[in-house]
């Protein structure tokens, strides 16, 4: 319990970001829902259309809704300019506001529809105009029901906001996703407890406002509203009280190696006098687009990922030729600066437990073809949608009985439990040796090479101080050192934090 307490105390900045995002989304949802509800109460057609749209939004999983705003905002840059944010707060705000819309709108429309007709007639009879009737009669009678909808929306929004981590917005989802990746259940519990606690506090304060409105006790309603405002002001102070113009945003994808390398980069930049923020848990396409557009400043990416996913190339040249073409393409298409290769490769490969591979005489990927229809393959959430998987599958004629998606950590557990026979693993992962796994040979060269490289956004790449601070990383990290660092955060005993793993990695390679 003491560990959970320490973890909770370290979530101040994440809690502040979560409060501001949730409060902004709920406020925007209210601002949209209430005018629509007034309009809908006077037009059955508008009521059907607005409630139908809000219900449709609720059928879309929150994670998908958050992700959809990334391409939407990218397309809107043609109208609003390149400065329009595509990651972080704005897409999270828009998606969560839509998610908050239904309960507020439905309760407001229902309250308006069920007002006593006699009261409305009396208001008309004394000569009230539309705005007087709305302000003096309809709003006070509807307010308790509308507040009930706002309470529901608040709880939903605070819970869904944890998913905004996946599109680069800091939130209480950060410790949850990081903990799931490393099976650090203290972090997972801390994030869950903080999110649930925030939802309960918000519901209680909004409940005070609701009760005050229902019983016409203005002091009670004002007290609840004042506490909400104070909480938001406190979050603003934490979030922006120590702002720094030299703050650098470092992106990371959703596996241990990326978290460690992001912290390694951050530590070097902090030593050079910069403040840093981290945007963890990004998908490959989102992360690359983020650094190329300046939504983040620094990213570690992989040559094979850029080659197949971003450049859409299907040929497989040698390592140096691929790297040179990537530099030219990045410079030409976006101005992204390729600082250099870190010195190791983290390629995809198909891995099996050594005992199973030896018992079944599996040596190369081609040996899987005949028996794949009776086997299960596992991979991370994006593996089976990648062009390089399509190439491997078609090159060797692989048709598995079942494909299963796992988080990067759990797919290794799936091999041990027998839920998968083979997985799309990472060659720099420390669990390969720890779990006694073997990679199957790729004699056809279907997998491209995956040298780890540092990418800087166009503006950041022009900053000589940053380039100087990060240049010593180029060529400094070999695969053995990276495997050891990865294992140090993935093992179950004596597990290191990402920050500590990064410091030890720097020491081990002489940085």
Question: In angstroms, how far is the first alpha carbon of the chain from the final one?
Answer: 36
Q: What does DSSP say about strands 422-426 and 376-379: parallel, antiparallel, or unpaired?
A: parallel
Question: Where do the H-state alpha helices sit in 126-184?
Answer: 130-133, 139-160, 173-182
The model's pLDDT over 70-115, given as tens digits with 9 standing for 90+, comes to 778 878 877 887 777 777 788 889 989 988 888 888 888 777 766 7
Mean pLDDT, the chain, integer? 85
The model's pLDDT over 211-256, given as tens digits with 9 standing for 90+, comes to 887 777 888 888 888 888 898 888 888 877 655 556 899 999 878 8
Q: What does DSSP say about strands 376-379 and 348-353: parallel, antiparallel, or unpaired?
A: unpaired
Q: Please, which residues have CB within 8 angstroms of residue 111's CB and are 6 or more apart in sequence?
A: 141, 142, 145, 146
Q: If we measure between CA atoms, which residue out of 324, 348, 504 comes closest to residue 424? A: 348
The model's pLDDT over 176-201, given as tens digits with 9 standing for 90+, comes to 887 776 667 788 888 899 999 999 99
> Is pLDDT at 474 greater than 90 in this prediction?
yes
Residue 468, CA distances (Å) to 150, 249, 461, 465, 471 in order:
51, 17, 10, 5, 5
pLDDT > 70: percent of the chain: 94
Q: Please, which residues have CB within 8 angstroms of residue 261's CB and are 6 or more apart in sequence?
A: 252, 300, 342, 452, 502
Exposure string over 387-410, b if 16+ CB within 10 A, otherwise e: bbbebbbebbebebeeebebbbbb
* Mean pLDDT confidence for 300-306: 92
Which of 36-50, 137-151, 433-447 reaches the highest mean pLDDT?
A: 433-447
Q: Please, which residues have CB within 8 angstroms of residue 233's CB and are 6 or more apart in sequence?
A: none
pTM for this entry: 0.74
Distance of CA 418 to the CA centre of its chain: 29
Helix, coil or strand: residue 407: coil
- Residue 264 has what pLDDT? 95
> Is pLDDT at 367 greater than 80 in this prediction?
yes
């Amino acid at each position: 319990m003491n560990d959970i307490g320490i973890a909770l105390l370290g979530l101040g900045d994440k809690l502040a970001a979560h409060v501001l995002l949730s409060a902004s989304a709920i406020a925007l949802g209210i601002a949209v829902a209430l005018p629509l509800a007034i309009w809908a109460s006077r037009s059955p057609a508008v009521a059907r259309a607005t409630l139908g749209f809000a219900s449709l939004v609720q059928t879309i999983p929150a994670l998908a809704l958050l992700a959809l705003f990334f391409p939407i905002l990218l397309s809107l840059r043609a109208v609003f300019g390149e400065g329009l944010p595509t990651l972080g707060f704005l897409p999270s705000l828009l998606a969560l506001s839509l998610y908050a819309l239904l309960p507020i709108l439905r309760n407001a429309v229902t309250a308006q529809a069920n007002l006593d007709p006699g009261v409305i007639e009396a208001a008309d009879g004394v000569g009230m105009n539309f705005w007087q009737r709305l302000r003096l009669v309809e709003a006070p009678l509807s307010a308790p029901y509308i507040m009930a909808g706002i309470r529901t929306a608040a709880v939903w929004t605070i819970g869904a906001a944890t998913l905004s981590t996946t599109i680069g917005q800091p939130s209480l989802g950060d410790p949850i996703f990081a903990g799931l990746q490393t099976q650090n259940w203290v972090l997972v519990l801390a994030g869950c407890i903080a999110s649930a606690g925030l939802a309960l506090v918000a519901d209680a304060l909004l409940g005070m406002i609701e009760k005050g409105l229902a019983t016409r006790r203005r002091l009670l309603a004002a007290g609840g509203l004042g506490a909400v405002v104070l909480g938001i002001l406190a979050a603003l102070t934490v979030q922006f009280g120590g702002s720094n113009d030299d703050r650098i945003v470092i992106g990371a994808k959703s596996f241990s190696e990326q978290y460690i390398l992001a912290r390694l980069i951050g530590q070097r930049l902090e030593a050079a006098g910069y403040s840093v923020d981290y945007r963890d848990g990004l998908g490959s396409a989102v992360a690359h687009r983020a650094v190329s557009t300046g939504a983040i400043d620094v990213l570690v990416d992989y040559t094979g990922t850029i080659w197949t996913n971003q450049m859409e190339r299907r040929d497989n040249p040698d390592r140096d030729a691929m790297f040179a073409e990537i530099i030219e393409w990045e410079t030409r298409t976006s101005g992204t600066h390729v600082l250099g290769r870190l010195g190791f490769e983290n390629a995809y490969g198909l891995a099996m437990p050594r005992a199973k591979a030896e018992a079944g005489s599996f040596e190369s990927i081609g040996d899987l073809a005949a028996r794949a229809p009776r086997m299960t393959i596992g991979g991370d959430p994006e593996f089976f949608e990648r062009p390089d998987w399509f190439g491997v599958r078609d090159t060797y004629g692989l048709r598995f009985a079942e494909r299963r998606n796992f988080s990067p950590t759990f797919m290794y557990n799936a091999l041990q439990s027998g839920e998968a026979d083979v997985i799309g693993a990472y060659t720099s992962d420390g669990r390969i040796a720890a779990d006694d796994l073997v990679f199957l040979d790729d004699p056809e060269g279907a997998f491209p090479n995956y040298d780890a490289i540092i990418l800087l956004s166009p503006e950041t790449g022009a900053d000589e101080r940053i380039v100087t601070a990060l240049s010593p990383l180029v060529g400094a990290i070999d695969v053995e050192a990276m495997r050891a660092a990865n294992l140090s955060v993935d093992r179950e005993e004596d597990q290191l934090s990402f920050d500590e793993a990064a410091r030890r990695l720097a020491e081990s390679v002489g940085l």
